Structure 1
Amino acid sequence: MHKIDAFCHIMPRPYYDRFMSLDVGLHAQNLRKRVSNIPCLVDMDVRFGQMDEFGDYRQIINIAAPPVEDIGSPAISKEMSRIGNEAMAELVANHPDRFAGFTACVPMDDPEAAVAEYEYATSELGALGAQIYTHVHGHPMDSPDFEPFYAAVAASGGLLQVHPCRSSAWADYPTEERSKFEIWWTFGWEYDLSAFMARIVFAGVLERHPELKLLIHHGGSMVPFFAGRVGPGWDQLGARTPEHQKEDVTGYPLTKRPIDYFRMMYADTALFGSAPSLRCSIDFYGVDHVLFSSDSPYDPEKGPGYIRSTIANLQELDLTDAERAQIFHGNVTRLLGLPEPAGAPR
């Protein structure tokens, strides 16, 4: 069965070399150490050798963390976005049998530049959408500054991948200075994703742009498991809030239940080999809103591990062949207008 991996990370050689040459902050230094130990991010021979294991399999690639906003000034963000986008476009053009496409890197610390780079990447380079993070230097993504960007992505029909982002500087408790035991990553990133989704809902982004295609990493994060709190819980929003705090629960006028907006989003299958988590995600979003994704190459094998385990999860779950085909390639093909593979089930 044809498989399109809809959320994979890469650092093309021109981008990697420039990234390694820059004087970056502590968070970017941490992530630079991580990416320097994963050969297939940069070495395509290694990457293609790993991909061969999975037969009829292609990837949609994006630039690996850290966000370009964390690398340097807005000028550096724009420079790195352009380097990354042109390098990814070249990889897709040279290896269509390996890469189904790429999503653009955009400098969100300059919203006007982000719109311009998105339009350049989609219209000139063939990008399928963009990847953004859950905040920009701690600023929320429901800020009115980003409205033109969301409008541009919605109008283009592109896929907007959402990746979490925080560092050990985000402490576990207010009395501490740093997060311990990588809690900032294991649980903090999932809170970031979930908070992003909620702010997008209550700020009315999907009310104004119902055609916006948001792909939430890691199976839609905490939302499927806490659907009772997201549904009946948020149906009571403000009912227990004191009058002097009413502004905390006053958002954009919504015409549907909050949970209905969460279900408008899409989830990937990047759950690191947990079949029960994947079942929960599919049950919440529905088969037609789940896209196969592995989050490669951040597994202990540095490339193929999460691809293999995610495929195994989808094979072991109680799904029909047609449902598996939807998740493996049908949904992303439909969403982005990609050509159907020869002989694919319909």
Structure 2
Amino acid sequence: MKTDAFCHLLPREYAKRLFAIDDSPVARNIQKRVSSIPALVDLDVRFRVMDEFGSDYRQIINTAAPPLEDLGPVERTLELARVANDGMAEIVRDHPDRFAGFCAAVSLDDVDAAIGEAERAFDELGAVGVQIYTHHHGGPMDQEKFFPFYEAVAKRGNKMIQVHPCRDSSWADYKTEERSKFEIWWTLGWEYDLSAFMSRLVFAGIFERLPEIKFLIHHGGAMIPHFAGRVGPGWDQLGARTPPDQVEDVTGYPLTKRPIEYFKNFYVDTAYFGAGDAMRTAIKFFGVDHTLFGSDSPFDPEKGPGYIRATIGNLQEMDILSDSDREAIYHGNVTKLLGL
């Protein structure tokens, strides 16, 4: 059994509303970027993609970027969350042989409403988690106003928070420029965003305050496992070289362990797009028990099967894994984590 824990899908009614938005630059951007990927919306196309991987392959789905908060006023984004979640729940309910579950969409413009929508999705629709993003209108996700949301999900025990990056070309590569070039904002910027998200929450004491919380970080934990020397011995020296007038920049929640140990509490997927050596490093850092099979389908050049095939190939070829390790990554870990 293979349960693909991070895949994107747009329910038809949600897609219809998304493509009708004409007053949001973010909406116009995503309309262009996803309009040529039929497997995002057309289930017949998607099922043909999935058939390549046999009857024991299923997906956990969520909506594609961007964050709902970037699509207009709060009334619209709250309604879009409801439409998206109703649509995903129906798809999962109608096709249990194809989909193992869905992670709910929420709009964090109204934190109380986001909590209510998450709880509705859990209790009435059967969602296995929620998806959030690495920024909120460009601001950090360790702001205290978001902790009631984290706490509400953490209290549910077997629900996860999927974390997806979200910057766009308006985030320039250099201070002297207005826009990012060559889609550096996507290729490299998204990985920085995921890493910064993880770091800010670690130093905000998220795992001290909510030890039961379960985050699934997209793209294998991004930069963190590949810079373990800086995350480990580097951050062990946090503040040692900081000027006295900047001490507030390095003051966070009082941690009881080395910073690097908290990073290993995150769960990560295997969405490395065929980069097997990078995936190996991530698995060694986070551990087999914190790694979930996830492909990021259908955003590969083939518009569906490419990243799934490449990810399976990487896992099958990886000599550091036993058969039981592969079984855990493919299906066992997510089953245990979510009580599937």
Q: Same fold (TM over 0.5)?
A: yes
Structure 1 match to 2:142: 142
Aligned ranges 1:167-186 → 2 under 5 Å: 167-186=168-187
| Distance of 1:4 and 1:278 partners within structure 2 | 18
Structure 2 match to 1:256: 257
| Distance of 1:74 and 1:199 partners within structure 2 | 26
| Distance of 2:199 and 2:27 partners within structure 1 | 27
Aligned ranges 1:1-346 → 2 under 5 Å: 2-55=1-54, 56-157=56-157, 158-318=159-319, 319-338=321-340
Amino acid across the alignment from 1:97: D
Amino acid across the alignment from 2:53: F
CA displacement at 1:268 relative to structure 2: 0.3
How many residues are matched? 337
Q: Deviations over 1:112-159 (max 9, x none)?
A: 111111111001110001000001111110001101000011001211
Q: Deviations over 1:66-118 (max 9, x none)?
A: 11111111111100000000000000000000000000001111111111111
| Distance of 1:112 and 1:174 partners within structure 2 | 36
SS at match of 2:255: coil
Amino acid across the alignment from 2:122: T
CA displacement at 1:333 relative to structure 2: 0.2
Q: Deviations over 1:30-51 (max 9, x none)?
A: 1111111100100000000110
Aligned Cα root-mean-square deviation (Å) = 0.7
Q: Deviations over 1:7-63 (max 9, x none)?
A: 000001010001111224223211111111100100000000110000110000001
| Distance of 2:111 and 2:241 partners within structure 1 | 36
| Distance of 2:27 and 2:274 partners within structure 1 | 27
SS at match of 1:137: coil
| Distance of 2:73 and 2:247 partners within structure 1 | 37
| Distance of 1:57 and 1:91 partners within structure 2 | 16
2:21–2:28 CA contact under 8 A, matched in 1? no
| Distance of 2:323 and 2:23 partners within structure 1 | 47
Amino acid across the alignment from 1:330: G
Amino acid across the alignment from 1:79: E
Q: 1:320 to 1:24 in 2, by over 3 A?
A: farther
| Distance of 2:71 and 2:173 partners within structure 1 | 24
| Distance of 1:200 and 1:28 partners within structure 2 | 28
CA displacement at 1:285 relative to structure 2: 0.4
Q: Deviations over 1:224-260 (max 9, x none)?
A: 0000100110011000000000000000111111111
2:18–2:27 CA contact under 8 A, matched in 1? no
Structure 2 portions without partners, runs of 5+: none
Identity of counterpart residues, as a percentage?
Answer: 67
| Distance of 2:138 and 2:110 partners within structure 1 | 14
2:7–2:295 CA contact under 8 A, matched in 1? yes
2:235–2:259 CA contact under 8 A, matched in 1? yes
Structure 2 match to 1:341: none
Hey, which bits of structure 1, 4+ residues long, moved more than 4 A?
none
SS at match of 1:156: coil
2:4–2:330 CA contact under 8 A, matched in 1? yes
| Distance of 1:329 and 1:59 partners within structure 2 | 11
| Distance of 2:232 and 2:249 partners within structure 1 | 19
